[in-house]
Structure 1
Amino acid sequence: MRAVYATDLSDAIETAINSRTCLECLQRYGIEEIELVTVTSPNVTAGVPTGGIGKQTERALDRQRQILEDAGFSVTERAVRGTPHRRINGVAEQVNAALIVVGSRGQSPLEQRYIGSTARNVARTAVRPLLVQRISGRDDHHEVEREHLFERVLYATDFSENAQHAFEQFEYLQTPTQEATLLHVAPPGRRADSETDRVQDAEGRLAELADELEQMGIDATTAVREGEAVEEILAAEAEFDPTTVLMGSRGQSRLRRLLLGSTSEDVIARANANVLVVPPARVP
């Protein structure tokens, strides 16, 4: 399978590319080929692959390509000009990528985390599964937050079709994932006399999904919470300490392609773990 790896050629992104553990996780996911993409200003002449770009940019891109090739990937480097999220998503469509990887540099401490505009815009418009990889630190010191990208997965589901589509990612995650927590957050304010039935139904549905994962060799547990979705997902993240949060996004407008639902966007912005967000299935 092929991934688009977005790079701004910064020290932060190079820290992630230099993490052999992270790269091995991508390989265990099934990634064999990488399109290494950097987007330059529209005012800079750039071609595909690297004709016409500055020598410094070319050297940095070559260096990162070499790191990935030394790790065992087949790599194509691309320097393109334009709006970053449009070009990144466009390349992903062009090469039929199974995954897009975008780094998200957070502030310190973690409670002040934010998501950069490029990562946010890629997430809002991606029609391919997107891994937002956490990179912490400032200035000349950076580190990846979770080197074992998929070792422990927190899967958040509302039992919708989109959430089920996200669950299908475990087909690729069954090799790198050892543990999974399946979480359903029920909205507050329901009638008390229906509470027991509602919880039991959610627990039963989660148990069925857990059984599927157990058959894949993944140790699965379940949790049902009540409250506001984002807050409860983040509370579950703090409790279970996943390396990645897995969830689906919801398309809101065909005219504006697929926009991220507010829950997904808020989790991407505020979680400490990596986030793997899966857009709705494509209509044939």
Structure 2
Amino acid sequence: MKVVLAVDQPRDATIAARFLEVVRLPRGTALSVMHVIEVPHRALRFPGQQGMLADWRKESVMSARRLIDRLVPPLRAQGLRVRPVVKEGLPGPVLLDTAERMRTDLTILGPHGSSRLRRFLLGSVSELLLNEAPGSILIVRGRSRGRRDRGMSVVLAMDCSTDAKSAAGFLSKLRLPRGSHVILLHVEEDADRELARISGMGRVDLTQAVERAMRERKRRTLLMLERMGRKCAQQGLAVDHVFAEGSPAEAILSAAERHRADLIVMGSKGLTGIDRFLIGSVSRKVARHGPCSVLVVRKRRR
């Protein structure tokens, strides 16, 4: 597995690193710990400030390396192949370019501070990566009660889509702490949405078509949840099946609050099964408003 961990401020980098002490990556993972130095645009426009800019760049690189050096030893102790990386540019485009060139399976973003401006910048970076990155995205937030000796609570949003199955497969590769609890969540949209989805079929009696489609989907969902539950149980994880109705994004966020989740795992196209934009809006909403860390899984494009 190829992973990029993007780090910024010391506190936020520590939060992300501690999360990886609880939810561990597979042994042998190639992990690039990256800091992006953003050069002030004004400084580039004034030739007389080039000397000061060179000194600032030198100090910024040294500071970034000190930050990364503090994170590397415990990550290497987990059996990861860690490589420190310091680059210059705008964080979003640099991370996206790195993910595409390295063909990363996962990019990890820390909370990036708590100010309103930093939350906005985090949203712009994370949404760029959610939309464009070739692999999965993990947004780490500070609220985590899980520990290696106590376990954690994970909400795994499932339906019968390929993306949801990829999310389940990705979760199975991670080394969750013993005693962890997985909530397998399936959201059933109401009949009105189902009716709107198939209204272009040209059928006179759409009600029967809706009922048949919903029965078949429920049958396939129950089989899929049963298989996933067995796999989780084989890994020593406690499993609960939870069914909800309504808006997928709202149901996922509500379940995360109710079960005091440490992590939400879902496919990049969400749970609606419509077109890419509408489906993607589910994962974007959960990633932005989730009360805990959020892992959005996308199969890497070949």
TM norm. shorter chain > 0.5? yes
2:230 is matched by which residue type in structure 1? Answer: D
Equivalent residues of 2:75, 2:82 under 8 A apart: no
Q: Tell me the residue number matched to 1:6.
A: 6
Q: Deviations over 1:42-88 (max 9, x none)?
A: 6689xxxxx99723312221222221223142543323233322321
Structure 2: 5+ residue stretches without partners:
45-53, 193-206, 271-275
**2: CA distance between counterparts of 1:53 and 1:77?**
20
Task: After TM superposition, give the deviation of residue 100 of structure 1 in Å.
Answer: 1.2
Q: Is 1:66 matched up with 2:63?
A: no
What secondary structure, in the 3-state scheme, does the structure 2 residue paired with 1:277 have?
A: strand
Q: CA offset at residue 198 of structure 1?
A: 5.8
Residues 238-277 of structure 1: pairs in structure 2 closer than 5 A: 238-250=257-269, 261-277=280-296
Name the structure 2 match of 1:83.
90
Rounded Cα–Cα distance in structure 1 between residues aligned with 2:26 and 2:159: 25
1:57 and 2:56 correspond: no
Aligned residues: 258
Structure with bigger strand share is 1
After superposition, the C-alpha distances for 1:126-168 in whole angstroms (9 at most, x for unaligned) are 222211001xxxxxxxxx2216388321111221011111111
Identity across aligned pairs (percent)? 24
1:226-245 pair list within 5 angstroms? 226-245=245-264
Equivalent-residue separation in structure 1 for 2:20 and 2:299 (angstroms): 26
Matched ranges for 1:137-176 at <5 A: 144-146=142-144, 148=146, 151-176=152-177
Task: Give me the whole-angstrom Cα distance separating, in 1, the residues matched to 2:90 and 2:281.
Answer: 23
Deviation, 1:170, is 2.7
Letter of the 2:231 counterpart: E
1:165, 1:281 within 8 Å by CA — same for their partners in 2?
no
Partner of 1:121: 128
Deviation of 1:16 after TM superposition, in Å, equals 1.8
Deviation digits for residues 208-265 of structure 1, max 9, x if unmatched? 21112112222111111110111111111111112110001139xxxxx999800000
4+ residue runs over 4 A deviation: 42-45, 105-109, 190-201, 257-260
Counterpart of 1:182 in structure 2 is 184
Greater alpha carbon shift after TM alignment, 191-200 vs 74-83: 191-200
Q: Identify the structure with the greater helix proportion.
A: 2
Distance, in Å, in 1 between the alignment partners of 2:113 and 2:222 is: 35
Distance of 2:57 and 2:262 partners within structure 1: 37
2-structure distance, mates of 1:131, 1:146: 14
- Matches of 1:108 and 1:186, distance apart in 2: 36
Q: CA deviation at 1:271?
A: 0.7
Mapped partners of 2:158, 2:235: distance in 1: 19
1:188/1:153 CA distance change after superposition, 3 Å = same
Point out the structure with max Rg over C-alpha: 2
CA distance in 2, matches of 1:32, 1:204: 32
Q: How far off is 1:274 after superposition? A: 0.2
Cα deviation code 1:107-132 (max 9, x no counterpart): 599xxx86532222222222222110
**TM-score (ref. length: structure 2):** 0.72
